[in-house]
Amino acid sequence: MKKIATGNKAVAEAVKQAAPTVVAAYPITPQTEVVEQVAEFVSSGELKSRYIAVESEHSAMAACIGASITGIRTFTATSSHGLLYMHEMTNWAAGARLPIVMANINRSLGPGWNIWAEHTDALQERDTGWLQVYVSTVQEAYDATLMAFRIAEHNDVLLPVMVNLDGFLLSHIMQPLDTVEPGDFIPPIHLPHAITVENPAGYGCLTGPDQQFRFRWDIERSIRDSVKVIEDTEKEFARRFGRKYGFTEDYQCTDAEVVIVAMGTLGKEAEVAVDLLRKEGIKAGSMRLRWLRPFPKLNLKGRQVVVIDRDYSFGRGGILATEIMAQIKEPVFSVIAGIGGQEVTYEDIAGFVRQRRTGEEFWFGVNGNV
């Protein structure tokens, strides 16, 4: 069915069709519209779920954990400080191998208090064991959410998945949306370690030094196994519904001498910058990174690389640039831009490429740099 929707409502549409048994949620800007729409679906009977309106984000994740332990499908959504408030429980969800799906609407962290887009909130969760995907359109927000349930619940994965949308730049933007009837694309959930009346058990028991590392390795093994599950899921999605995705979305990269790497809406804006640069005779390409965890192998050999980070790790640098520099030998021009919703246009991105100085870091808008 074709319609016009915001990124937030696209996520809610996908949740309705995935039909989780339990949704636990707490409102926070700019995520609130997601759980409001899900609540409307539950109230109208379009979604047969138990909706738990909790008192905090920490409780939202705890409620999803408690429900997921029994072997049922769960969903929640949050943003920014709400995600940070969940942090204890996001570690718990991954460590307990629970396939919870969460939409995170990327927002800056305070103080100063800022409700606009930034990726630092989700990137502070990158080492918890959650799989993370970053989307750039309303359609992709819907599609990625549907696929997230299938990926998380696959028995070779059984890890939570976070779907990330840029706050306001995507969460509240109206774009075309083509919904589908997923049918058996998302199979019934089967959690092999579920607690039931027939299989009473306990979670969170004390684990000694002779076993804890085994649990941590098992998470890493499953993240490695998730690569094939993600590839197979995206291929099956393309076969059934006609929309193709990958670990990256490459644009004009085949003969590119310089490649722009970014995530989210900046990655989509970079495609317009590439067209502008090509008209100037600069062989540019764009590689929008979709999956941060698992981190893909990037084909950047022999290219100049410009990485745009809407985030920062103080004392170390742009988080995406750091990840890429750990993988490739090519020097990187690291650009910090878009922090706290700072406006970054395709013309700005083209300017980053024109002035690139590999091996350096550039803060857009700082000390007269514009």
Q: What is the pLDDT of residues 300-326, one digit of tens each?
A: 999 999 999 999 999 999 999 999 999
Q: For residue range 23-33, what is the model confidence (pLDDT) as tens digits? A: 999 999 999 99
| pLDDT (0 to 100) of residue 370 | 56
Three-point CA angle 39, 40, 42, nearest 5°: 65
DSSP 166-232: ETTTTTT--EEEE----GGGSPPP--TT---SSS---SS----TTTHHHHHHHHHHHHHHHHHHHHH
Q: Over 70: is that where the pLDDT of 368 sits?
A: no
| pLDDT (0 to 100) of residue 202 | 81
Looking at CATH, the fold of the domain delimited by 2-241 is given as: Rossmann fold (3.40.50)
Closest CA to 12 of 32, 37, 48, 30: 37
Average pLDDT over residues 55-66: 98
Average pLDDT of the chain is 96
Q: Over 90: is that where the pLDDT of 330 sits?
A: no
- Token look-up 């941590």 returns 216
Average pLDDT over residues 259-281: 98
CB 334 within 8 A of CB 321: yes
Q: For residue range 169-227, what is the model confidence (pLDDT) as tens digits? A: 999 999 999 999 999 999 999 999 999 888 788 877 889 999 999 999 999 999 999 99
User: Positive or negative CA dihedral for 318, 321, 327, 331?
Assistant: negative
pLDDT band at 44 (very low <50, low <70, confident <90, very high): very high
The residue type of 33 is E
Fold match flag (2-241 vs 249-363) = yes
Q: Residue 88 and residue 80: Cα distance in Å, rounded?
A: 15
Domain 249-363 architecture: 3-Layer(aba) Sandwich (3.40)
User: Positive or negative CA dihedral for 67, 71, 75, 79?
Assistant: positive
| pLDDT (0 to 100) of residue 171 | 98
β-bridge pairing 101-106 and 161-166: parallel
| pLDDT (0 to 100) of residue 244 | 98
Domain edges within the chain: 2-241, 249-363
Average pLDDT over residues 9-18: 98
- Token look-up 């919870």 returns 100
Phi, psi angle pair for 306, to nearest 5° = -115, 115
Q: What percent of the chain has pLDDT over 70?
A: 99
Phi, psi angle pair for 104, to nearest 5° = -115, 120
Q: Over 80: is that where the pLDDT of 367 sits?
A: no
The model carries a pTM of: 0.97
